Amino acid sequence: MSKEIKLCLVYRDMWQSSGKYMPRLDQLLQVAEPIIEMGCFSRVETNGGGFEQISLLYGENPNKAVRGWTTPFNKVGIQTQMLERGLNGIRMSPVAADIRQLMFKVKQKQGTNIARSFDGLNNPQNLALSFQYAREAGMIAQGALSITHSPVHTVEYYINLADAYIDLGAEEICIKDMAGIGRPASIGRMVKGIKDRHPNIIVQYHGHSTPGFSIASSLEAARGGADYVDVGMEPLSWGTGHADLLSVHEMLKDAGFSLPDINTEAYMAARALSQSFIDDFLGYYINKQNRFMNSLLIGPGLPGGMMGSLMADLEKNVASLNRWLKKRNQPEMGQQDLLLKLFDEVKHAWPRLGYPPLVTPYSQYVKNVSLMNVIQLIKGQERWSMIDENTWNMILGKAGKLPGELGEEILALAKAEDRTFYEGNPQDLYPNELDSFRQKMQEQGWEFGLDEEELMEYAMHPRQYEDYKSGKAKEAFNKDLAKRKAAAAGADNASTAAAVPTVATAGPKNLTITVDGTAYKVAIDYGDPDASGEAASSPASEVAQPPTSQTPITAPLEGTFLLTKGGGEVGIKVGDQINEGDTIGYIESMKVINAITSDKAGKVAEIIAQHGEEIEEDGVIIYLS
């Protein structure tokens, strides 16, 4: 009798691995029925990971989305699963234990059956509470092994890691091949080794297609004894996503495995609906590069799940870097040029950072530091001169022990900056704080929500939740979408526009403006007609001119400027004495917070950058006298 193997559709991850956003709830409800009618899925990944932050970012209630999306699958007995990040819960940074515990209770009540929990450093210590809280809430606790390929990440390492997870309460094991760089034969031996030791433990294989191994890895995992294989489907399979349902299904059937047939009519309906969501608005946030597999990623090993955000970051960084190069009459760079430099730098930096598995959030940290290294080297600066606070926490052990040894230059830098390494339990660094969020919600007059789901959401994503409640998130999303649509329409009409002769902007070149009885002569520059309005859109901080005898301190990267990170920290103020190396503020960029230090000494004469506002690279933060 042929061995039965089951399939899981990773519908949430399909979108996150391709672009920035997920479909709205109304769209998810449309596609649920044909997914069910396809008849081939035992599980569907419905939420977790970036799902809820994404909903908040475009101004929607994520709790309504999760409840609505899981309901049709719950009704027909298809298990729903989520992805959570252990110490980080469902956000990018560590979270208090009481918030983590509430999250599992809420997710179970919302209809999620399986909690796939992973730790970005593969630390069992960080997942003990996840397994405990999931089981207490009535969910299946699945422990995910974050797969990568390095001298320390061997087949035996992962088999032993599965032992540790199971000892701590994991009821299932997931082989989470987030970058798709697990070699197929090694994946097969890994699954077999786990099954030999734990024959009754369910093993599920999850692999991204990015460099091209995952289709073979799916077969090797099945031959090794895997019970489930995760798949994507058109129009978002392959590329940085996952191996396609049709290919995996046919391959496994040919290999002698037993699988349910696919209702092709329902398949085509689900496929067409997903494409319609892309055509509606989601396609404006999907970089075309993410629709291709790329064997160059075997080297850096960056995961498919972050490629959507990576390409979006590169768009901004290329534009920012080119502004810097242009000001200095240096040749500009293309996005592909910067991407290849980044790949090479990741290969250089990753071992020196202790070989953290390249999975959220540590893939972001390694990528961000590598990108900063590339940019700083282009600017004639030194490597490691821009390491964000999140990455320092990883380096110092505040997220747990790194798999490998730190490079000598990192150890020397930590010593030079008088940083202290931490060897305790990372969770102890983040005391319970639900009560403080309860109080804040009461002060705002906000409801805690059904099963306290709104409280959980606020505590998990405070800043995004506040922007959602105020309407700021919806406004910002609509504005950004309109901008992208206009840009796309402009590109479509480029050939027509090229045939139309350029007309000089009409209007006076000089004006006299009277303010409080005083007349001022103003010269007006309408800019280069071919400059696409760049000069007009430059923020004030970028073009601010230093007053006589005052020294500007500028932003080394673009992002959101913050005077403080919050808590009891006090920001700089006019009149403060600043020494070289002092922190003058922070810039949140690429999902992490970067401390900005002054490269000069002096007294704060003026603060130009505003807390919470966007600042361009080279934009003036403060003037020193």
Within-domain flag for 527: no
Identity of the highest mean pLDDT range in 291-295, 300-304, 424-428: 424-428
Same domain assignment for residues 399 and 260:
no
Within-domain flag for 449: no
Our measurement of the distance from residue 109's CA atom to the centroid of its chain's CA atoms, rounded to an integer in Å, reads: 26
**Amino acid, single-letter form, for residue 44:** V
| CATH label of the domain that carries residue 180 | 3.20.20.70
Q: How many CB atoms lie within 10 A of CB 571?
A: 15
Within-domain flag for 471: no
Q: What is the mean pLDDT of residues 442-460?
A: 97
Residue 563: per-residue pLDDT: 86
- The pLDDT tens digits of the residues spanning 587-611 come to 877 667 788 888 888 999 989 988 8
CB-count exposure of residue 614 (10 Å: 0-12, 13-18, 19+): middle
- The pLDDT tens digits of the residues spanning 239-275 come to 989 999 999 999 999 999 999 999 999 999 999 999 9
- The pLDDT tens digits of the residues spanning 28-69 come to 999 999 999 999 999 999 999 889 988 999 999 999 999 999
- The pLDDT tens digits of the residues spanning 95-106 come to 999 999 999 999
Q: What tokens does 374 get?
A: 């590339």
Range with the poorest average pLDDT among 185-189, 327-331, 355-359, 499-503: 499-503
d(CA 141, CA 173): 9
Within-domain flag for 164: yes
- Ordered DSSP codes for 454-468: HHHHHHHSHHHHHHH
Range with the poorest average pLDDT among 29-43, 49-63, 291-305, 449-463: 291-305
d(CA 345, CA 304): 18
Q: What is the mean pLDDT of residues 438-447?
A: 97
- The pLDDT tens digits of the residues spanning 400-432 come to 999 999 999 999 999 999 999 999 999 999 999
State pTM to two decimals: 0.79
Q: Which residue has the higher pLDDT, 498 or 450?
A: 450
d(CA 130, CA 128): 5
- The pLDDT tens digits of the residues spanning 353-382 come to 999 988 878 888 898 899 889 988 998 888
- Looking at 245, 265, 286, which one is the last position of a domain? 286
**308 — pLDDT class (breaks 50, 70, 90):** low
- Looking at 286, 307, 342, which one is the last position of a domain? 286
Within-domain flag for 357: yes
Within-domain flag for 486: no
Same domain assignment for residues 154 and 209:
yes
| CATH label of the domain that carries residue 599 | 2.40.50.100
d(CA 446, CA 430): 25
- Looking at 286, 311, 331, which one is the last position of a domain? 286
d(CA 206, CA 182): 11
pLDDT(534) > 70: no
- Count of domains forming the chain: 3
CB of 181 within 8 A of CB of 301? yes
Same domain assignment for residues 243 and 392:
no
Same domain assignment for residues 304 and 411:
yes
Same domain assignment for residues 560 and 588:
yes
Within-domain flag for 132: yes
d(CA 613, CA 596): 15
pLDDT(284) > 90: yes
Within-domain flag for 476: no
Same domain assignment for residues 267 and 327:
no
Same domain assignment for residues 249 and 367:
no
Same domain assignment for residues 366 and 229:
no
Same domain assignment for residues 187 and 141:
yes
pLDDT(26) > 60: yes
Which range marks the domain in which residue 102 is found?
6-286
Residue 541: per-residue pLDDT: 44
Same domain assignment for residues 276 and 423:
no
Same domain assignment for residues 390 and 307:
yes
Same domain assignment for residues 171 and 281:
yes
Q: How confident is the prediction for the chain on average, in pLDDT?
A: 88
| Closest among 235, 172, 233 to 204, alpha carbons compared | 172
Per DSSP, helices labelled H in 233-306 are 245-254, 264-280
pLDDT(12) > 60: yes
Q: What share of the chain is helix, strand, coil (3-state, %, to 5)?
A: 45, 15, 35
